[in-house]
Structure 1
Amino acid sequence: MNIRQLTYFVTLAETANFTRAAERLNIAQPALSVAIKKLEGQLELPLFHRNERKVVLTHEGETLLTHARLILQQVKDANIAMAELKGLEKGEVRLGLPSMLGSYYFPEILMGFKSRYPNLKLTIVEAGTQSIRKMLLNGELDLGIIHNADVPEHLETEHLLSSQMVAVVSKDSELTQQESITFSEFFKHELVMFKEGYFHREFIDSVCLQHGFEPHIAFETNLLQMILKIVRNDFAITALLEMVTEHEKDVVAVPFTDRVDLEIAIAWRKNGYLSIADRAFMEFLKSTTNN
């Protein structure tokens, strides 16, 4: 029994007529008759009652029809899946990532996706939330990871993860003895911060605006490793996602007294075209996050 035989069998069962079935299959009627007889011979079972005008399924034929349709549908689904994969052979995903998430959350995800689709190209652009939003709107990026707040109306977003923003200090700092730190106390210290446009800086700027604080920014850089080195050497403190302190030595997380949770989302241009590669990445990302 093979796929061709099952296709002939199902077509004949649906048309109940050798002539119409042969026309639909675009083969000669004698060839169809021979194929059906051969299938019945292999199974050693009659599949049709034959008369001059039409053919009718036997009980055995009705049983086979259920299985044959399922098998043919599975073959069709497999062909569709393979066709989609062919579409990924030369695909590309242009993804915008903030440096913090790019360093700690995404490496395993990106490598896992690349392992599943080895011929697909991943172009990663490191930038702050504001820059990623602009590049999405300008079509420079397909997907972006952003802070899910004050999102432009022309972008769609889907929640990805929540993470607590904490003060980050040297292990030698006296602040490590505290269970939490107030915003007032935090802003009394010299700070090393990301430049404007990064969601960590947006957080700091919004707190200052809300409470009237004047931050003492001693260092300003977009280099995460430089920020961490300055903090380790106790030259300044900073505010980062808690996940950073879980992977870095010699720095300590001190939660803010008023807990701060940031919502991180994946974003794309509203009504924009998402390629097969983009959709595959989004599905892979969501499945990884849900696990």
Structure 2
Amino acid sequence: MELRQLKLFSEVAKYKSITKAAETMHLSQPALSKSIMALEEELGMTLIIRSNKTSDLTDAGKIVLEYAQKMNGLLDEMKTTLNDMTNLTRGQINIGLPPFIGSLFFPRVMAKFHHSFPNIELNITEYGGARVVKSVEEGEFELGVAVLPIDEQQFDIYPIVEEEMKLLVYQDHRLAMRKKVDMEELRDEEFIFYHEEFALNQIMRNHCIAAGFEPKILFKSSQWDLMAEMVAANLGITILPHSICNRVFNNEIEVIDLKQKILWRLAVLTKKDRYISNAGRTFIDFILKDPL
């Protein structure tokens, strides 16, 4: 078994497609298929369920992927450590980022960071917050950005944003003229919620339960602009961070304060006891000195 085989297998699992993985790795599809088949033959197990449209993992494949990600993470860490020892002027950072956060803050951050450190390459992958945390833990990403709270026993946490959540309702909604609304008053409302892979899903659900009710979720989405448009179409209500509300330009939507102070807190996280590259430390210092 070779480390390259595990790397190739991880790419197939990531894209759920041998064709897409081959394109990404600049390999021919037959060569990639042959490598995966050799790995399966050596392990004596089928790892991938092959079909015309997708390549899903078997139960054995999921176990191999888990260990492959750990080994690939350790290999990347070793390379980073050796590169830093040679005082290279170049660097590379793999960052996991939820789409909500990426669209709000990071274009400006990346532009300023690139201007200050043009030889450091930022490789950004967009995942939901829960998956970002798991991927940092497994070593896929050196750094991640996620919504607090996060287990501080497993991760080093660097807070970067703290702002309040706001209620969005249709212009003719019964609460539209109110300046503040109590969460308890939303008991009978239909919610437009975030997908389960986003930390805000569980955070808002917990606040609803604390107010004495289970939220009635009509739609789920990963796109804040779609959520706002659903409110404008009078399909339900939603609760979004203040920064996102500032980007909602629709006269059919009213943005209202909540009596309960519900905070949206973001942080950069790294896995405890993992070596962080000079480039990674430079990025953390940069973002802490210039808050989002």
TM over 0.5: same fold?
yes
- Aligned with 2:112: secondary structure? helix
Q: Alpha-carbon deviations, 1:128-159, whole Å to 9, x = none?
A: 32211101100011111222214252111022
What is the Cα deviation at residue 165 of structure 1?
1.2
Change over 3 Å in CA distance of 1:98–1:172 after alignment to 2:
farther
Counterpart residue type for residue 114 of structure 1? H
- Write the distance in 2 (CA, Å) between the matches of 1:88 and 1:242: 39
Q: Is 1:147 aligned to 2:147, yes or no? A: yes
Counterpart residue type for residue 234 of structure 1? N
Matched with 2:127 is: 127
What is the Cα deviation at residue 181 of structure 1?
1.4
TM-score by length of 1: 0.65
Aligned residues: 207
Judge conservation of contact 1:167–1:253 (CA < 8 Å) in 2: yes
Q: Is 1:205 aligned to 2:205, yes or no? A: yes
Matched with 1:281 is: 283
Matched with 2:218 is: 218
- Aligned with 1:106: secondary structure? helix
Matched with 1:74 is: none
Q: Is 1:87 aligned to 2:101, yes or no? A: no
Matched with 2:102 is: 102
Matched with 1:261 is: 263
What is the Cα deviation at residue 245 of structure 1?
1.1
What is the Cα deviation at residue 218 of structure 1?
0.8
Counterpart residue type for residue 267 of structure 2? A
What is the Cα deviation at residue 200 of structure 1?
1.6
Matched with 1:65 is: none
Judge conservation of contact 1:84–1:276 (CA < 8 Å) in 2: no
- Write the distance in 1 (CA, Å) between the matches of 2:168 and 2:144: 26
- Write the distance in 2 (CA, Å) between the matches of 1:281 and 1:289: 12
Counterpart residue type for residue 207 of structure 2? V
Unmatched 5+ residue regions in structure 1? Answer: 1-82
Larger Rg: 1
- Aligned with 1:184: secondary structure? helix
What is the Cα deviation at residue 186 of structure 1?
2.2
Judge conservation of contact 1:167–1:186 (CA < 8 Å) in 2: no
> 1:1-291 counterparts in 2 under 5 A?
87-89=88-90, 91-151=91-151, 153-250=153-250, 251-289=253-291
Judge conservation of contact 2:147–2:199 (CA < 8 Å) in 1: yes
Unmatched 5+ residue regions in structure 2? Answer: 1-83
TM-score by length of 2: 0.65
Judge conservation of contact 1:99–1:224 (CA < 8 Å) in 2: no
Matched with 1:12 is: none
What is the Cα deviation at residue 84 of structure 1?
10
